[in-house]
Every structure is written in structure tokens, then in C-alpha cells.
Amino acid sequence: MFQINENYLQLNESYLFSTIARRVENFSTSHPEADIIRLGIGDVTLPLPPSVLRAMHHAVDEMGVKETFHGYGPEQGYGFLREKIAGIDFRRRGIDISPDEIFVGDGSKSDTGNIGDILGEDNVVAITDPVYPVYLDTNIMRLGKSSRIVLLSCSEENGFLPEIPSQPIDIIYLCYPNNPTGTVMTRQQLKQWVDYALENGSLILFDAAYEAFIRDNDVPRSIYEIEGAKECAIEFRSFSKNAGFTGLRCSYTVVPKALRARSVDGDELPIHSLWNRRQSTKFNGTPYIVQKAAEAVYSSQGRQEVGDMVAYYMRNAEMIREGLTEKGWIFFGGENSPYIWLKCPDGMDSWTFFDRLLEECHIVGTPGVGFGSEGEGYFRLTAFNSHEKTAEAVERIKKWEY
């Protein structure tokens, strides 16, 4: 009989957000009257910006006309979008990234999950704890629960920022602004990681999906703001959280041509050509209609609309922060991030807090321990609901006698 990939048996039975969805569904079925407010998964709630919609409608019409119909597109993404990304997200900020270093994808979840395809199995991989579960799960899928996966503890003591490892690490996943803790790294702090990677020949996988939420000037929006990062880092960006594309699916990955890795024979190779090979073999490109929608995000009106959406969610973050401050609870994040990471009161564990908040306040959040053992005793709330629902959730928490 054929065999399975045994590594899958070492994963938790289901993906964190699927487990939560099932528990909420069960509660909702047994309590149909409960008005449940969802501050759990980081899914947006505002509709797509008007300029994005217009561009999509136009692209749909193009698909119905012989002369403007589009079949398979370039696997790396259309030039019109890659040019805009390179120009506006990077060059305008003084970062020299060229359009052909940008690979348009269908979401950072896929891109951060798939990047392992081009990396050797003997690498020592460092992952923060707590962490966005995709990095850890996809490494377990590849390597099993291996001593080559090293967890970097992020706790209240170190401000939820990993310390530079004392042992040699080949690959490091960093996500800033951070999911789940909402914390950020300053330029100086990120520079320490870039310097470490350059000294040790390591690769940094930098997930900047929440870049649009940065407010502080000393927080870098891209790892390439740090000198030398093009020789040691791949950056992942998404249109999901800033422009509301969680249901449309569009992202991009920057693989600089200067980034080189070593083969077993000791030859140095540009990793750009490997990712290009991977994408052109396993991916047929993000749909034309979706890339046209993403292009509209870069128009002057699109940028204004996206800015307004981000500001809307950040107002929610502020409301949550104000409410939790009044309640006297300890929390982190929510200033340069749509996530608020709170310490469960009275030493409650994460899942007890989840159950009680759901049952007694009808509010859904995400238990910190779902992001790793260091998340035990913490809980994540998102700012992605409406002002009205967020305000109502804050009121319920303020009145809660737990």
C-alpha cells in the first residue's frame, strides 16, 4: 500500500483557525440567540475600495472580448503590477528593487508556506514562539518535528522580541509588525538581525504583511531599508490586510538577485532562479482580474482609499487599547499593528479565557497558546471588525465580572 508523508502525523490535528471556527460554530448552534462578535481570525470586514472594484469590473469586461481576453499570464506576475510595486513600495522610498525581483502570488500564506520548497533539509531553521502557525507547520510538514527547528522564545521579559541566537542558524522567520503579538522592531533592532545573517550566511524570511499599519518613523516598512538586507533576506507582502484582499488573494514576494545560497558542492547560486523555477513549475499566476485590482491599489485614489481603510481599523485598535486600559488589563501591540496581545487576567490559561469570553461575553478571540507554548496565558484580539461591533465588544469586556 502507498505511504503517507509521516510528518503530517506530527502536526496538531487541525490548523489553529479551523479549530477555533469549529468551536465557535458549536457554540453558535447551541446558543442561536447569542450575538457573537468576532475578533479572532485576522480577516477584514470593510468592502473592497471603489477604485479596486472599478478596475476589476473593467478587467472582467476585457475577459469577455476576443482582443483583450487573457489566458495564462506570466507565472511571476504581469509587468504592469510588478512595475508599480517596485516603483511605489520600494524605489519611491529609496530602496532599489527591480520589477523582476518581484513575484506576484496568491497570498502570503502560500508564499511563506511554499518557500521551503527551494531550501535544503539540513538547514537549521529558527522560528519565534509565539508565531503565525504557518511557518512552523510547513516546516514540520517538510522536516518532521526535528531538532533542526529551533524556537526563539518571545516573552514579556524580552518585550516579545527574539534574542539573537548564540548558535548558528541558517534560516530565520521574522514577521514585523508581528502576528500575533502586535510588537514591532525598530530599524536598529532589525539591523542586528541583518548583521547576524550576513555574518553567519543565514537567510531571513521577512513577513511584512502588516507593513501598512506602521505609524512610528523608526519602524522599518521593509527589511531592505537595512543595508545589506538584499544579500540575506526574502520579503513577503500581502494585499489582504491593507486593501481588503483576503477573499481575492494577491501577494508578492521579493527575491533579490543579490541573494545567494550554497549548494552541497559548495557552489554559490542565486536563489532568485530557484524560486522562479519553482513558481513557473507549480504556479500558473495570480488571475489577471485580481492583478488589475491590485494595480488599482497604487493609483492615487486607491492609495487614499486604502489609507482610509487602515486608519479605520487602527481606530478600532485604539478603542480596544482604551477599553483594556480602563479595565486594568495588561496588553501589548495595537499601535503599529491591528493585533492586540493581552495577558489573560487572574492567571487564566488561554483556552479557559477563550471559552469564558465566548460563553459569557459572546466574543471570539484567539488563544495565545495556539501560536506556541510561549503564548500560554495570552490572548489575541483583532481590530478588523466594524467600529460598532468593536465598541460593543469593548463595552461587554468592561462590564464583564469574570
Cα distance between residue 374 and residue 176, in whole Å: 18
The region of 27-35, 39-47, 50-58, 220-228 touching ligand MLT under the rule CB under 6 A is 39-47
Q: Find out whether 269 and 16 touch, Cβ atoms under 8 Å.
A: no
Contact 279, 76 (CB under 8 A): yes
The window from 37-45, 114-122, 261-269, 352-360 that contacts ligand MLT (CB under 6 A) reads: 37-45
C-beta atoms surrounding 110 within 10 Å? 16
The minimum distance between CB 83 and ligand MLT, in angstroms, equals: 26
Mark 253-275 as b/e (b = at least 16 C-beta within 10 Å).
bbbbeebebeeeeeeeeebbeeb
Beta-bridged to residue 342, according to DSSP, are: 331, 379
Taking the least distance from each CB to ligand MLT, the nearer of 180 and 285 is 180
Residue 109 binding ligand MLT, by CB under 6 A: yes
CB of 43 to ligand MLT, least distance (A): 6
Q: Which residues, numbered 157-216, are part of the site for ligand MLT (CB under 6 A)?
A: 179
Choices 7-15, 40-48, 63-71, 260-268 (CB under 6 A): range interacting with ligand MLT: 40-48
Residue 221: CB atoms within 10 Å: 17
Whole-angstrom distance, CA of residue 273 vs CA of residue 257: 8
* Cβ nearer to ligand MLT, comparing 101 with 207: 207
Q: Report the nearest approach of ligand MLT to the CB of residue 272 (Å).
A: 25
CA 366 to each of CA 11, 12, 344: distance values in angstroms, whole numbers, following the listed order: 19, 16, 12
Residues 370-389 that bind ligand MLT (CB under 6 A): none
Q: Which of 20, 41, 344, 364 binds ligand MLT (CB under 6 A)?
A: 41
Q: Which of 37, 38, 39, 42 binds ligand MLT (CB under 6 A)?
A: 42
The nearest distance, CB 117 to ligand MLT, in angstroms, is 19
Residue nearest to ligand MLT (CB): 42
Minimum distance of ligand MLT from residue 183's CB (angstroms): 14
Distances (CA, A) of 153 to 130, 165, 333, 334: 7, 10, 17, 21
- Kindly list the residues in this chain that would bind ligand MLT in the complex (CB under 6 A): 41-43, 109, 132, 179
